[in-house]
Structure 1
Amino acid sequence: MNVIAWLIVACEIGFWVIIALGLFTRYILKRDKLGLFFLALTPVIDLILLVATGIDLYRGATATQVHAISAVYIGISIAFGRSMIEWADIRFQYYVMKQGAKPFKRFGIDYAKHYFKSWGQHVLAFLIGAGVLFTLIYLINDSARTEVLAGFLKIWTLVLGIDFLIAISNFIWPKRARDNNIIISQSGAIV
């Protein structure tokens, strides 16, 4: 595995370590501002990965799938970062601090709306990641060295389309609750 691949792994681990540190500092140590500071550091991880990928390619490396994955990672981290932090925050409060409401599972139209919103975040991640890929392709200006990046963009476009079909299918065939095969909305109403 090359350096960029290890850096992606380190960034993913670092992302969750910083979130855990932020939540620990915020709830266990009761230091809200310091906890918020740690949570606000998550974009720095993306910046480190972006700079390292750019430097590697600038120095003459031929783009690989790992370089493309770094662009995908950056897009996903920026688009989904806040919701991932909120997801972790809710579960930390409930399972560790024994506070707040139990995280609920979504069903029916509520699930479909939530998934469609998530698909919107996927579109944002795609736009950010595709922007990074296009920028790298433009700056390198050597199609032989950036062929993998262009191919990865085509695959991601296909994945985005498939995700859209799944999002729409949730409105046609809503996710059912496992209990008694009924559909329950977030408010608890049977749909």
Structure 2
Amino acid sequence: MGDPTVSPLLWLIGAAEVAFWGFLLAGLATRYLLRRRRLGGIVLLGVPLVDVVLVTAAAGDVLTGGEPASVHGLAALYLGVTVAFGHSLVRWADVRFAHRFAGGPTPVKPPRGGLARTRHEWREFGKVVATWVITAAVLVLLTVLAGRGIPAPGDWTGDPMWSWLSRASLVAGIWFVVGPLWATVFPGTDEFPGTGDRERSGV
């Protein structure tokens, strides 16, 4: 059996993922299927509310004596990803829902080359950096609340909670090389100029 102070938080992370998609789909369905845009917007507010609940639960766990563990690091990384990428994911889904059910414009794929692609890749990498920063901030908060010292970067891999930031750093490094760095060195030619701007203006 798992540690009783950790297992509930792991279940909560799973529930948060389900709730994220539940609020997203319910909000879009209300907006476009029921034609209730204002109510749909209110339902979509549940998406960031899920993050608030999760970070509060993680902080409360360590404040009440829970040992900082791998699941707390996973919660921190999950929060970083959802906060950094959540808005763009909602916007991506909104454009496609509007096109499918409300006669909205056809979704346009990201640029495949040229300066537009380079800008797109750097913009996406900015979300990765935001994920890293948010994850680190939550880990610092949990570490301080637990009354512990913040480990040095060289010790992250040996710490169950902070090892998640090491994984995030590895992913960020790979993303940088295959994303913005590659697009900057080998930008190619954009076959459909301006598509990135039209995609971003979909909502």
Aligned to 1:40: 45
> What residue ranges of structure 1 are gaps of 5+ in the alignment?
176-181
Corresponding residue number in structure 1 for 2:191: 184
Residues 134-188 of structure 1: per-residue CA shift (max 9 Å, x gap): 1111221236xx932233223322322222222211222347xxxxxx7514437
Share of identical aligned residues, percent? 30
Q: Which residue of 1 aligns with 2:136?
A: 130
After TM superposition, the structure 1 = structure 2 runs for residues 50-69 of structure 1, keeping only pairs within 5 Å, are 50-69=55-74
Cα offsets for 1:63-113 (capped at 9, x unmatched)? 222211111111111111111100000111223444322332430133332
Alignment of 1:71-90 (within 5 A): 71-90=76-95
Q: Which residue of 2 aligns with 1:155?
A: 167
- Uncovered stretches (5+) of structure 2, i.e. residues with no partner: 150-155, 196-203
| Aligned-CA RMSD value | 2.3
Q: Which residue of 2 aligns with 1:173?
A: 186
Of 159-168 and 36-45, deviating more is: 159-168
Residue of structure 1 in register with 2:198 after alignment = none
Please say which of residues 165-174 and 118-127 is displaced more in the overlay: 165-174
Q: Provide the rounded CA distance (Å) in 2 between the counterparts of 1:183 and 1:61.
A: 52
Q: How many residues are matched?
A: 181
Question: Looking at both structures, which has the greater relative contact order when contacts are Cα pairs under 8 Å and sequence separation is at least 6?
Answer: 2
Relative distance call for 1:111 and 1:65 in structure 2 (3 A) is farther
Deviation at 1:15? 0.7
**1:140: which partner in 2?**
146
2:32 alignment partner in structure 1: 27
Residue pair 1:137, 1:149 contacting (<8 A) in 2 also:
no
Counterpart CA distance in 2 for 1:23 and 1:116 is 29
| Whole-angstrom distance in 1 between the partners of 2:140 and 2:175 | 22
Question: CA distance change for structure 1 residues 46 and 172 in 2, over 3 Å: closer, same or farther?
Answer: same
Q: Does 1:107 align with 2:112?
A: yes
Normalising by structure 2, report the TM-score: 0.79
Q: Distance in 2 between matches of 1:158 and 1:98?
A: 42
Give the ranges of 4+ consecutive aligned residues of structure 1 lying more than 6 Å apart after TM superposition: none
